[in-house]
Amino acid sequence: MKRTFGALALLFILGVLLIVAHPDYGLKFGLGGKDWQTYRYTDEYYIEHGIEEVGGTNIVTDIVFDYRGYDTIGEATVLFTSIAGAVALLRKWREDDE
């Protein structure tokens, strides 16, 4: 019974997502021209000003390390925490030849 309900809920969520992804009701894919200016003005700013403001010709690195550096700090922290957790959980805690 619970599993049926869960499957129905998943089906409902899938239908809602399909409607959201439809170009007539929700998201548009392959933006260009005027749509680019309306929906992607932030990207336009990064592409136009990235090289002169940060200096790197790789715009992705400019964004990741300069404009949104806090995000990268968080990402590095996540990596550090996962490595520390993995190493701490996988350490030897009793001798194998007991």
Burial 7-25 (b: 16+ CB within 10 A, else e): eeeeeeeeeeeeeeeeeee
Nearer to another protein, 37 or 42 (CB): 42
CA 42 from chain centre, in angstroms, equals 17
Q: Which pair of structure tokens corresponds to residue 45?
A: 């700013």
**Binding residue for another protein, selected from 2, 3, 34, 92, defined by CB under 8 A:** 92
For residue 62, count other CB atoms closer than 10 A to its CB. Answer: 20
Q: Are 37 and 44 in contact (CB under 8 A)?
A: yes
> Interface residues for another protein in 16-75 (CB under 8 A)?
51-52, 54-58, 60-62, 64-66, 69-70, 72-73, 75
80 binds another protein (CB under 8 A): yes
* Binding span for another protein by CB under 8 A among 8-16, 22-30, 34-42, 77-85: 77-85
The reply to whether 86 sits near another protein by the rule CB under 8 A is yes
Give the C-alpha separation, 88 to 57, whole Å. Answer: 40
Q: What residues make contact with another protein under the rule CB under 8 A? A: 51-52, 54-58, 60-62, 64-66, 69-70, 72-73, 75-76, 79-80, 82-83, 86-87, 90-92, 96
